[in-house]
Amino acid sequence: MAGDLKALLSPYGRPALSDSVLPALLEGISGIAKALNQSQNISLAGTHNAFGDGQLNVDVSSENLIREALAKCPSVITASSEEDPVERPANGNQAQVGAPESERYTVAFDPLDGSSIIAPNWTVGTIIGIWEGDSALKQPVDKQIAAILGVYGPRTTAIVAVRVPGCDPCCIEIGIGNEPYSYEIVRTNVRLAEAPFKTRYFAPANLRAAAESEAYMRLVTHYIEQKYTLRYSGGLVPDVVHALVKGHGIYVSPVTGASQAKLRRLYELLPIALIIECAGGKAVDPSSGEDILSRPLDNCNERAGLVCGTMEEVDFVKRTLLNA
């Protein structure tokens, strides 16, 4: 229930975040779940986002539902999304009234991640990052203090991470019901497990790059020879959440000369990296080996590859891909 979430987050001293922003975004995720349930025909909307990608009808409706949720939060000053990648006032052209100076937030989100797998009715998700201040750009990356992964499958769930400077990080799993503000805390402490692991999972994204990269081919061959269990759906959110639920996993999306980076740092990589780190894992750039959260953003369209999951597995991928 909403009171449980408030009690869990009360030590962080962010009442607007725990009482307004997070509940509103969870309600937006609930609204997207209902919209998806009623969208029997998935089709192109006839529009394109600012990056030139064709939009589906469900992309547009999901965008609108998150925007409507944010407009109800006085402390959310600015918002941008993968569908509209320009930081704008969250409440239209009007400045938010009643926003406390100590809690002014920017929200950056991917309203519906997984457009390529939604037509066959596979699990898809929403990715949200919450930043301190009026912009996510050119900020120290520790200004991102919360993130959410909404998951639309047989159930609707959300992974929520909060990391406020000076406080211990928190990562929880929430089950979302059909009624307004109907949700419950499923797990109060989402953590990746420590070795030894009963079962080991791998998710090799951009697998065609193995034909171009000997290092990636060696990596995939290693997982097969070591009898890892393949868990790859083609959806970033379900593949990452699978690791968080099972306690082990490695997600690899490399970049090569012919297979360029597709994942956008602001709307996908940075929120996922925060959640993975709060769960005791690691997220790095496969081209450089640096932590995803180590470098500030210059613009909304920055892209990179991703390696994330259990710490030991990420370190092994770094050594294999970078010989480091």
Q: Is residue 192 part of a domain?
A: no
Which pLDDT belongs to residue 53? 61
Q: Which of 163, 187, 211 is the last residue of a domain?
A: 187
Of 161, 127, 120, 164, which is closest to residue 142 (Cα–Cα)? Answer: 164
- Residues whose CB falls within 8 Å of the CB of residue 28, separated by 6 or more in sequence, listed in order: 65, 66, 68, 69, 70, 126
Do 32 and 103 lie in one domain? The reply is yes
pLDDT at site 57: 82
Positive or negative torsion for Cα 223, 266, 136, 72: negative
The reply to whether 180 and 243 lie within a common domain is no
- Reported as a pLDDT band with limits 50, 70 and 90, residue 52 is low
Calculate what percentage of the chain has a pLDDT beyond 90.
Answer: 74
What's the token pair of residue 168? 């211990």
Q: Are 267 and 127 in contact (CB under 8 A)?
A: yes
Whether 196 is in a domain gets the answer no
Higher pLDDT, 177 or 108: 108
Q: What is the CATH number of the domain that holds 254?
A: 3.40.190.80
Q: Which two tokens stand for residue 62?
A: 């999901």
Task: Tell me, yes or no, whether 268 lies in a domain.
Answer: yes
Average pLDDT, the chain: 90
**Adjacent-strand bridge partners of 183:** 176
Domain enclosing residue 205, as ranges: 201-322
The residue count of the chain comes to 324
Question: pLDDT, tens digit, for every residue of 107-154?
Answer: 999 999 988 898 889 999 999 999 999 999 999 889 999 999 999 999
Instruction: Find the helix packing angle between 22-38 and 2-9, rounded to 10°.
Output: 140
Question: What pairing do the DSSP bridges indicate for beta strands 124-132 and 105-113?
Answer: antiparallel
pTM, full prediction: 0.93
**Do 228 and 125 reside in the same domain of the chain?**
no
Domain termination residue (choose one: 187, 220, 236):
187
- What pLDDT is attached to residue 7? 78
The whole-angstrom separation of Cα 276 and Cα 268 is 12
Mark whether 27 and 152 lie in a shared domain. yes
Question: Are both 14 and 158 inside the same structural domain?
Answer: yes
24 and 140 inside one domain: yes
Report the alpha-carbon distance of residue 150 to residue 160 in Å, rounded.
9
pLDDT of residue 176: 95
How many domains is the chain built from? 2
CATH number at residue 66: 3.30.540.10
Q: Which residues pair with 106 in a beta bridge?
A: 78, 131
Asked if residue 69 and residue 164 are part of one domain, the reply reads yes
If you average pLDDT over residues 28-41, what whole number do you get?
A: 88
- The amino acid at residue 19 is D
194 Rama class: left (phi>0) / alpha (psi -120 to 50) / beta = beta
The per-residue pLDDT for range 298-324, each reduced to its tens digit, is 999 999 999 999 999 999 999 999 985
The separation between the first and the last C-alpha atoms of the chain, rounded to the nearest angstrom, is: 46
Confidence at residue 10, expressed as pLDDT on a 0 to 100 scale? 77
Q: How far apart are CA 15 and CA 99, in angstroms?
A: 12
> Of 156, 187, 218, at which residue does a domain stop?
187
If asked whether residues 6 and 37 sit together in one domain, one would say yes
Please compute the mean of the pLDDT values over residues 228-240 and round it to a whole number: 97
pLDDT of residue 58: 85
Sign of CA dihedral 45, 118, 268, 24: positive
317 and 206 both lie in a single domain: yes
- Asked if the structure places residue 172 within a domain, the reply is yes
Domain contains 194: no
**CA-wise closest residue to 21 among 154, 129, 140:** 129
* The pLDDT of residue 91: 80
Percent of the chain clearing pLDDT 70 (strictly above): 91
The predicted structure's pLDDT at residue 51 = 55
Q: Domain check: are 183 and 40 in the same one? A: yes
| 181: confidence class by pLDDT, cuts 50, 70, 90 | confident
What average pLDDT score do residues 232-240 get?
Answer: 96
Domain co-membership, 27 together with 176: yes
Token pair in block for residue 49: 């986002």
* Per-residue confidence (pLDDT) for residue 170, from 0 to 100: 93
At residue 180, the pLDDT reads: 75
Residue 109 domain-assigned?
A: yes
Instruction: List C-alpha distances in Å: 207 to 14, 54, 92, 128, 226.
Output: 42, 24, 41, 26, 18
In a domain, 40, yes or no: yes
DSSP 96: P
pLDDT (0 to 100) of residue 116: 82
Environment class of residue 115 by beta-carbon count within 10 Å: exposed (0-12), middle (13-18) or buried (19+)? middle
Residue 105 within a domain: yes
Instruction: Enumerate residues 6+ apart whose C-beta is below 8 A from 179.
Output: none
DSSP letter string over 168-212?
--EEEEEEE-SSTT-EEEEES------SSPSS-EEEE-SGGGGGT
The alpha carbon of residue 220 and the mean position of all alpha carbons in its chain are separated, in whole angstroms, by 24
Asked if residue 44 has pLDDT above 70, the reply is no
Does pLDDT of 230 surpass 80? yes
Res 177: pLDDT: 86
20 with 122, same domain: the answer is yes
1 pLDDT higher than 60: no
Contact of 41 with 62, CB cutoff 8 Å: no
